[in-house]
Amino acid sequence: MVTLEQDKSTYINSMFGRIAKSYDFLNAVMTLNMHKLWKRDAINKASVNMPYLKKAKILDLCTGTGDMAFMWAEKPQVAKVMAIDSCLPMLERAERRQIKSKATNADKITFMEADALQLPFQDNNFDAITVGFGLRNVKDLDLALSEIHRVLKPEGFIASLDLGHPESGFVDSFYRGVFLKLMPLLGQVLAGDQAAYKYLIDSLETWPKQKDLSQMFWDKGFTRSYYKNIMFGTTAIVVAQK
């Protein structure tokens, strides 16, 4: 088995392949289903231009089982949602959801296997981009931000929802010392995969603070960026406009 240190992309791909079946269930348990509210919040923050658009084209990066893609498709101003992921078992689950969906607007979504670091789209293509719990997993964050900047239309918004770093030392100690320590245990009990949920903790070591990620968007050439803390900063939405 390839280790995280040897090749992050291969490691991440096989890890999400292993947990694809239980991913939605674990997400619901670990966040008490609040992840859906946070995802809608991120989508609303990336939708600021929507009232002025008639046939908006959206990109959902690292779509996984497609939660955010389905939420985008509900919006009447949205004509097309491209939802990409590099892990086939996750995409298969998203496509199964689409087939089962009774909502006709689910037809607006195209699920596609693609790498966030090499997007198969032309420049200035999308009115808005979202990424849920995805950027933390890419091998090269700087390259991912360049690709987002390239394919987003001028004035378009990107919103990234992901884990964050609590700003209060007390909350951070509790979060790392107690809450995060439970994750591998929950992963073992509910998904039979302790390693995958230990990775969640390890991934925070190199993941920038929300304020620093926001600064990275500025540095990439976005015209504005800000962040919003959720649950004391254990999760955060970072927004930027091109």
Ligand X SMILES: C[S@@+](CC[C@H](N)C(=O)[O-])C[C@H]1O[C@@H](n2cnc3c(N)ncnc32)[C@H](O)[C@@H]1O
Binding site for ligand X (CB under 6 A): 12, 16, 27, 62-64, 67-68, 84-87, 90, 115-117, 132-134, 137-138
Q: Which is nearer to ligand X, 132 or 184 (CB)?
A: 132
Residue ranges of alpha helices (H) inside the chain are: 8-31, 35-45, 67-73, 88-100, 141-151, 169-174, 180-186, 194-206, 210-219
If the CB atoms of residues 138 and 159 are measured against ligand X, the closer one turns out to be 138
As measured in angstroms, the least distance from the Cβ of 95 to ligand X is: 13
Whole-number minimum distance, CB 239 to ligand X, in Å? Answer: 16
Helix (H, G, I), strand (E, B) or coil at 103: coil
CA distance 232 to 99: 37
CB of 37 to ligand X, least distance (A): 13
| Residue 102 burial (CB count, 10 A) | 5
**Of 8 and 174, which CB lies nearer to ligand X in the complex structure?**
8
**Closer residue to ligand X, CB minimum distance, 33 or 223:** 33
The number of CA neighbours under 13 Å toward the Cβ of 82 is 22
Q: How far apart are CA 163 and CA 229, in angstroms?
A: 10
Smallest gap from residue 168 Cβ to ligand X (A): 25
Rounded distance between C-alpha atoms, residue 149 and residue 141, angstroms: 12
User: Token digits for 142?
Assistant: 């700087």
Of 12 and 213, which has the nearer Cβ to ligand X? 12
Least distance between ligand X and beta carbon 137 (Å): 4
